[in-house]
């Protein structure tokens, strides 16, 4: 909180403001959670649309699943290592997650891939699916067992590898379960986006135009409302790192 307040105060001072406003607070949250804005490159019109469909896919899948965390903001402005982002914040403090909530996260990761080609979403989704099977024991087929013994640098608290404590047969079954989790989540994401394609198009068009959509406007869009009037841009568009360029409006 101290870091957040400090960042907000710095932003307000740079803008010659006497008080910290909600604008500075929200921007500070983004900087603390995601890193500073990257202004080194500019997105073309087509790249903006690619990025917009990608993030809109993440957000819409998350908003369509009852156990997913609410979407607070979506943006195609690059911050830190992210080319764009969908920011979700829990409505209440939580220390535990259920399998249903993990599967909602998995579908959300694949929502961007299903809507428009992925960047590193497949890697993140694969890591989560493998953790669900190997570490959290959430595979009904394999049962509540943790597979693999991690080797750590005790004083640094870092993993340096894994020692296999299971057979080749189990390794194959783990791979099959990871694949099943991924397919299930991908099907969920595709079903949602196909059913709500008109909403997806609306969110993506608005995001491509404005570059950032806050929670209130986003919720109005998914409920069938109209986007708020465009404000004068204060930020430059930036480059993205999307591997596939196959954007077309989904009709």
Instruction: For the chain, give the percent of residues with pLDDT over 70.
Output: 76
What is the predicted pLDDT for the residue at 237?
34
What's the mean pLDDT in 195-211? 96
- Say yes or no to pLDDT of 242 above 60: no
Between 18 and 210, name the one with better pLDDT: 210
Tens digit of each residue's pLDDT (9 = 90 or more) over 68-126? 889 999 999 887 777 788 988 777 777 788 999 999 999 999 998 888 765 688 899 99
Query: Model confidence at 251, in pLDDT bands (50, 70, 90)?
Result: very low
Beta bridge partners of residue 87, listed in sequence order: 73
Cβ proximity of 14 and 81 under 8 Å: no
pLDDT tens digits for range 171-191: 999 999 999 999 999 999 999
> Cα(250)–Cα(137) distance, rounded to whole angstroms?
38
User: Could you give phi then psi for residue 142, rounded to 5 degrees?
Assistant: -95, -20
Closest CA to 75 of 39, 51, 91: 51
24 pLDDT band, cuts 50/70/90, is: confident
Instruction: Report all structural domains of the chain as residue ranges with CATH numbers, in order of start.
Output: 1-34 (1.10.8.60), 35-222 (1.20.58.760)
Q: What is the pLDDT of residue 157?
A: 52
State the catalytic residues: 55
The answer to whether 142 and 217 are in contact (CB under 8 A) is no
Per-residue model confidence (pLDDT) at position 217: 95
Give residue 89's pLDDT. Answer: 79
């Amino acid at each position: 909180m101290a870091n957040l307040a400090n960042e907000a105060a710095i932003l307000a001072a740079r803008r010659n403001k006497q008080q910290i406003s909600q604008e500075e607070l929200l921007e500070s949250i983004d900087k603390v959670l995601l890193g500073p804005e990257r202004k080194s490159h500019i997105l073309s019109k087509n790249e903006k649309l690619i990025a917009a469909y990608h993030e809109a896919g993440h957000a819409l899948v998350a908003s369509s699943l009852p156990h997913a965390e609410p979407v607070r903001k979506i943006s195609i402005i690059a911050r830190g290592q992210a080319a764009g982002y969908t920011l979700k914040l829990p409505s209440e403090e939580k220390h535990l997650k259920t399998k249903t909530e993990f599967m909602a996260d998995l579908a959300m990761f694949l929502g961007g891939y299903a809507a428009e080609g992925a960047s590193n979403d497949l890697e993140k989704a694969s890591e989560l699916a493998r953790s669900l099977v190997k570490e959290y024991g959430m595979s009904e087929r394999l049962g509540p067992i943790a597979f693999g013994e991690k080797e750590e640098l005790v004083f640094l608290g870092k993993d340096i590898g894994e020692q296999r404590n299971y057979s080749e047969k189990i390794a194959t079954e783990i791979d099959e379960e990871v694949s099943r989790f991924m397919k299930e989540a991908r099907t969920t994401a595709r079903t949602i986006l196909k059913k709500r394609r008109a909403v997806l198009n609306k969110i993506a068009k608005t995001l491509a135009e404005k570059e950032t959509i806050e929670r209130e406007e986003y919720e109005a869009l998914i409920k069938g409302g109209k986007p708020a009037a465009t404000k004068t841009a204060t930020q430059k568009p930036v480059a993205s790192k999307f591997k596939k360029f196959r954007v077309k409006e989904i009709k």
